[in-house]
Amino acid sequence: MARLKRLRYLNVSENQFTTFPEAICAMSGLAELRVTDNLMEELPETIGQLTSLRELHLRNNRLTSLAETIGKLRELRLIDLRGNPLGSLPDAVAELPRLEKLDLRWVTTLAPPVWMGNLEERGCLVYW
């Protein structure tokens, strides 16, 4: 899998992954990644290697936080975190320059970060 450098779209949803498949982080050409409806509790720090990523779909996992290296995903426009038991979000999310949509519906365990209003003020749709 790691040799698929030009792959643009990958959907590995509904596979009951308990850990994020590390080989995905070597797929530098990915623009859209769907890892929904699995059992993952964390993202690896190597997620920051996916610098071409525009959409990251992580709905319905068991994520309690995100790796700080998510801030390296400067092309990211959408993050779907619906249905995860998140306790916190890294401040790096607020600094993603192209973020247009942050979906946090059905996340009942998260207090809104202080920077949430700043995202909305700059035009990012935040679904809460």
Residue-level pLDDT at 4: 83
Q: 105, 127 in Cβ contact below 8 A?
A: yes
Q: How many whole angstroms separate alpha carbon 37 and alpha carbon 14?
A: 5
- Residue 1: pLDDT above 80? no
Stated pTM of the model? 0.95
- 73-93 in b/e burial notation, b at 16+ Cβ within 10 A? beebbbbbbbbbebeebeebb
pLDDT, mean of residues 104-128: 93
Q: What is the pLDDT of residues 47-88, one digit of tens each?
A: 999 999 999 999 999 999 999 999 999 999 999 999 999 999
Question: Is the pLDDT reported for residue 10 higher than 90?
Answer: yes
Query: What residues does 127 pair with on adjacent strands?
Result: 103
Partnered with residue 125 across adjacent β-strands are 101
Q: Which domains does the chain have, with CATH numbers?
A: 9-127 (3.80.10.10)
Q: What is the mean pLDDT of the chain?
A: 95
